[in-house]
């Protein structure tokens, strides 16, 4: 037995019959190194014998590998047990397998990293710590975290390989005053770069003075938008310490988007180490202010000079740093929204859940239209019933009374239409810790918003994202009418902002704040 979250006796007693089909192969380079011959799920180890699930395989010869599971009745993620039988070839034994689980591709979160010491065995995973929600479909993702010596290197070089080229005194840039900071205008002295190609894998990471990129005019990023990015922040605490906020969540989302973009994967932990070092070198650029921060922009682009819609053979992963003030120059003031159903940001089966530039460019024109009408942002709707999806580039939350008079915090589900925001996740987890009102992730329509507004059940609406953290909504313009949105007193959005700010600036100790 290689690994089990339960006793060996229970797993051996189960001893399920192997399915009569070939194993789904995981490959590194051109060599098959790991296979799944069966995978079953159930509501407990004693119920796995029941015919409770259907399993579907998805294998494209690349990592990571996906298993889709359909339940015959609704269950909660917390009740699920996963058993997977694996077998490695004689020349390879993976040392670590990442187990990621969720209700869909955009919802996958790492729930276990399994250490494997034997070439064959069972993996048994109880998802007891996963988010509690009722589901019928479930997705399991297994990814090899170790490298195959004779295959293509799919992971960043070790942090110890990092090369540093520090600015000379004459290359240093003047630092702006905190009062002059606007979002994304100023850049620090240095940047991080790591190049990749399909033959040699990842090159060593390099920190060097900020410089322009040199690209061939035929680079795939310029023609087919094969690129993605992340948005993270570092903060200077009131105690003087520098901290990142949940960088592991950003890296997980970046890897998910890389997979969807046919870009190579990388080792998230090594990437975080490189980002920390970059910030340490440019630490004086982190504002000495509790209203400002250092914005971090990891970016990943396809660079091979080759026309043709195909997976890239060359890519560049780089990181920029920007000192920033408040995203909205007005500060923490409510914003007005334009909601026009003729404009759609995302759709089922698309890339709305991915953080790639192709999702943002088509929204700029619509944003300008809303500004001409006197609004600050767009409320993106979808479908014939005008479902709420996102507000501008933020996730959206409604705080309201349901028809039973109970207070509810409602936000759209991670169904592929919206970005799985790190701030969104954090607010939901904080609210669940408080246990003061119901937390519901479900579809919300404009008809429901209007009804709640007319019945005086709507308490407040706000957006949430890395750039602004929390932003209240003052009004929504929809189908010729202006709906003024109330704000509860005390405001839940203000409470969220204060709690997050206390974590960001070290006023309270919290595991989400990662020391640099």
Task: Write down all domains in the chain, each with its CATH number in brackets.
Answer: 16-156 (2.60.120.260), 163-324 (3.30.470.10), 335-515 (3.20.10.10)
What is the mean pLDDT of the segment spanning 255-263? 93
What is the per-residue pLDDT for 18? Answer: 34
What is the per-residue pLDDT for 178? Answer: 87
Q: Enter the tokens of residue 266.
A: 């990388």
Classified as helix, coil or strand, 403 is coil
The pLDDT confidence band at residue 249, using thresholds 50, 70 and 90, is very high
What is the per-residue pLDDT for 112? Answer: 62
C-alpha 23/C-alpha 226 separation (Å) is 32
Average pLDDT, the chain: 81
**Each residue's pLDDT tens digit, 41-70:** 555 444 444 455 555 544 444 444 555 666
The pLDDT confidence band at residue 336, using thresholds 50, 70 and 90, is very high
What is the mean pLDDT of the segment spanning 483-493? 90
Q: Give the number of C-alpha atoms closer than 13 A to the C-alpha of residue 410, restricted to the C-beta side.
A: 23
Classified as helix, coil or strand, 218 is coil
Residue 6, pLDDT > 60, answer: no
C-alpha 21/C-alpha 38 separation (Å) is 9
Look at the pTM and tell me if it is higher than 0.85: no
What is the per-residue pLDDT for 328? Answer: 63
What is the per-residue pLDDT for 98? Answer: 64
C-alpha 265/C-alpha 277 separation (Å) is 21
462: part of which helix (H) or strand (E)?
Answer: strand 458-465
Q: Enter the tokens of residue 380.
A: 């993106």
Q: What φ, ψ does residue 385 adopt, rounded to 5°? A: -95, 5
What is the per-residue pLDDT for 30? Answer: 34
The pLDDT confidence band at residue 170, using thresholds 50, 70 and 90, is very high
C-alpha 57/C-alpha 309 separation (Å) is 26
Classified as helix, coil or strand, 347 is coil
* Lowest pLDDT segment from 122-136, 312-326, 331-345: 122-136
Classified as helix, coil or strand, 221 is helix
The pLDDT confidence band at residue 216, using thresholds 50, 70 and 90, is very high
Number of CB atoms found within 10 A of residue 268's CB: 21
269: part of which helix (H) or strand (E)?
Answer: helix 268-281
The answer to whether residues 468 and 394 touch, using CB atoms and an 8 Å cutoff, is: yes
Among 201, 224, 161, 421, residue whose Cα is nearest residue 313? 201
The answer to whether residues 184 and 324 touch, using CB atoms and an 8 Å cutoff, is: yes
The answer to whether residues 356 and 225 touch, using CB atoms and an 8 Å cutoff, is: yes
Classified as helix, coil or strand, 288 is coil
Residue 501, pLDDT > 90, answer: yes
What is the per-residue pLDDT for 180? Answer: 86
**Each residue's pLDDT tens digit, 360-416:** 999 999 999 999 999 999 999 999 999 999 999 999 999 999 999 999 999 999 999
What is the per-residue pLDDT for 166? Answer: 95
């Amino acid at each position: 037995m290689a690994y089990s979250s339960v006793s060996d006796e229970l797993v051996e007693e189960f001893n399920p019959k192997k399915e009569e089909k070939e194993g789904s192969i995981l490959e590194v380079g051109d060599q098959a190194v790991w296979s799944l011959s069966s995978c079953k799920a159930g509501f407990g180890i004693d119920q796995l014998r029941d015919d409770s699930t259907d399993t579907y395989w998805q294998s494209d010869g690349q990592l990571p590998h996906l298993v889709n599971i359909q339940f015959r009745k609704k269950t909660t993620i917390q009740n699920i047990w996963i058993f997977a039988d694996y077998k490695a070839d004689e020349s390879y034994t993976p040392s670590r397998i990442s187990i990621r689980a969720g209700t869909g591709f955009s919802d996958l979160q790492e729930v276990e990293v399994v250490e494997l010491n034997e070439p064959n065995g069972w993996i048994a995973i109880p998802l007891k710590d996963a988010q509690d929600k009722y589901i019928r479909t479930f997705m399991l993702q297994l990814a090899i975290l170790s490298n195959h010596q004779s295959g293509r290197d799919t992971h960043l070089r070790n942090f110890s390989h990092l090369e540093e080229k520090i600015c000379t005194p004459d290359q240093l840039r003047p630092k702006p005053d905190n009062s002059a900071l606007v979002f994304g205008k100023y850049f620090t002295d240095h940047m991080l770069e790591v190049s990749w190609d399909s033959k040699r894998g990842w090159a060593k990471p390099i920190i060097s003075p900020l410089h322009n990129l040199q690209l061939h005019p035929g680079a795939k990023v310029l023609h087919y938008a094969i690129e993605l990015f992340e948005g993270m922040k570092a903060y200077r605490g009131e105690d003087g310490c520098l901290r990142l906020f949940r960088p592991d969540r950003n890296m997980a989302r970046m890897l998910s988007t890389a997979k969807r973009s046919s870009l190579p994967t990388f080792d998230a932990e090594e990437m975080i180490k490189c980002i920390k070092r970059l910030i340490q070198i440019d630490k004086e650029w982190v504002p000495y202010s509790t209203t400002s921060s250092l914005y971090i922009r990891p970016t990943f682009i396809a660079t091979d000079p080759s026309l043709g819609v195909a997976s890239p053979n060359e890519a560049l992963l780089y990181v920029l740093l920007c000192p920033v003030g408040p995203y909205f120059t007005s500060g923490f003031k409510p914003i007005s929204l334009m909601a026009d159903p003729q404009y759609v940001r995302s759709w089922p089966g698309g890339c709305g859940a991915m953080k790639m530039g192709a999702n943002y460019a088509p929204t700029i024109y619509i944003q300008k239209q809303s500004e001409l009408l006197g609004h600050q942002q767009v409320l993106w709707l979808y479908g014939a019933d005008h479902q709420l999806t996102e507000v501008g580039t933020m996730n959206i939350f409604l705080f309201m009374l349901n028809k039973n008079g109970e207070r509810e915090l409602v936000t759209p589900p991670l169904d592929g239409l919206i970005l799985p925001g790190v701030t969104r996740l954090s607010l939901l987890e904080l609210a669940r810790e408080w246990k003061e009102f119901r937390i519901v992730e479900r579809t919300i329509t404009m008809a429901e918003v209007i009804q709640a507004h007319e019945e005086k059940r709507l308490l407040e609406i706000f957006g949430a994202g890395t750039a602004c953290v929390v932003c209240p909504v003052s009004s929504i313009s929809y189908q010729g009418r202006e709906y003024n949105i109330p704000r509860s007193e005390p405001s839940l959005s203000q409470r969220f902002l204060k709690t997050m700010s206390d974590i960001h600036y070290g006023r309270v100790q919290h595991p989400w704040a990662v020391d640099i």
